[in-house]
Amino acid sequence: MGAPFVLSDFAGVAEPKIVLRWIGMIVKVSVVKATLLFGSLLCVLFSAASLYAQNLTLEGQTGGFITPTAYVVYGEKGHFFSHPAVGYHFVNASSVIGNVHTFSIAEGFANRAEVGYTRSVHTEGDSALFSSLWHYAGMNIVSGKVVAIKDGQFGPWTPGVGAGFVVRTNDKFVSGALDQVLTGTLKSYTNGDLYVAVTKTWLHPPMPFLVNLGWKATNASIYGLGGQATRFGGRLFGGVGIPLPGPFHTAVVPAAGFTQEPPTSKNLGAILYPPGSRAHLPTTLDYAVRVTQKDNPHFAFDIGIGQVAGVIGTTIIRTPNGPIPVPVDLQARHVVGTGLSIRY
């Protein structure tokens, strides 16, 4: 019998040890050097909105590695249309879920709105028991966003506020695969998100930072890679980053984020043991580092580690010696992801 579950998470990230090393280095510098460093840091922060307004997420929106922010693709002053932004992301979850490649393009309008398209391409995982739940080519993703209030529009304390949508089509992962196991018919699902994001860049001592917090209503588990959620429900997401001056006129942004996931996916309960059990999908966590240009950025590179899901339940495998309970382990507690975005 096949297996259960779902999920591949992502996140861009560098290891926490790197962040700690940077913090320790800053603490040890002299007062004079710290002053100079802080001045450089402010220079980076003044372009922080641009840093985030040209980087595309895994699903093709402006934001972090996976979560959208209240920024849109940056357009030159006096121009209604932006230059297009393109992005490529890779997530290595080959043990069970399989690898994910996404190819994105997005266009901005008057620094107030954007639309984008992403093709998500999937390769098969290595688990003989569970990877068949993800043996499908991928899905299509369309997104859009509008910024109602720009960061700092009504004063230094005003955060940016944006609202958007994501629609995923031809999603056969997990729920569709289990439809075929249970009914003999493979089903493709369409799922989506409606979200609001609040983002603030703070430029003042003692600690400049970038912070993002959002709420979404979704019927997708793990951004569609976990299949169709059993209902349309609200979930929180967010993150924080600290811009640091890097070499060769770059900015380096260590960051951490989270995304709450729906409690389970459609059809999973039918294969879990004991009967009536529900899968447990934990909150996705990510730790990332972004490198981009400090002034007028045209590229951004992300690398990170995501904590998605390990054992999410138990299923039964039929053998010649009788049924055997087997943990459903997605082996996705340490998922490596990278991303590259370019704005022309």
Task: Give the pLDDT confidence of 24-65 residue by residue, as tens digits.
Answer: 443 343 333 433 333 434 343 434 455 555 689 999 999 989
pLDDT (0 to 100) of residue 180: 95
Average pLDDT over residues 280-299: 87
- In angstroms, how far is the first alpha carbon of the chain from the final one? 49
What pLDDT shows up at residue 38? 39
pLDDT at residue 134 is higher than 60: yes
- Could you give the number of structural domains in the chain? 1
When the pLDDT of each residue in the chain is averaged and rounded to a whole number, the result is 85
Average pLDDT over residues 99-124: 97
- Domain with residue 248: its CATH number is 2.40.160.40
- Is residue 303, in this structure, part of any structural domain at all? yes
Q: Does residue 112 sit within a domain?
A: yes
The answer to whether residue 5 is domain-embedded is no
Does some domain include residue 149? yes
> Does any domain span residue 209?
yes
Question: Which residues 6+ apart lie within 8 Å of 63 measured at CB?
Answer: 52, 55, 56, 57, 69, 71, 197, 212
Residue 40 pLDDT: 39
- Specify the residue for token string 């109602």: 148
Residue 9 lies in a domain: no
| 8 Å CB contact between 241 and 253 | yes
Distance CA 291, CA 152 (A): 24
Name which of 31-40, 81-90, 327-336 the model is least confident about: 31-40
Q: What's the pLDDT score for residue 52?
A: 54
Task: Give the per-residue pLDDT at 53.
Answer: 58
Residue 301 neighbours by CB under 8 Å, 6+ apart: 290, 291, 292, 338, 339, 340
3-state secondary structure of 181: helix
In a domain, 2, yes or no: no
| Residue of higher predicted confidence among 203 and 176 | 176
Strands 250-259 and 85-92: unpaired
Looking at residues 281-310, what average pLDDT do you find? 89
pLDDT band for 321, please (50, 70, 90 cuts).
Answer: confident
Domain annotation covers residue 123: yes
Q: What is the mean pLDDT of residues 332-340?
A: 94
Domain range for residue 139? 16-343
When pLDDT is cut at 50, 70 and 90, the band that residue 275 belongs to is confident
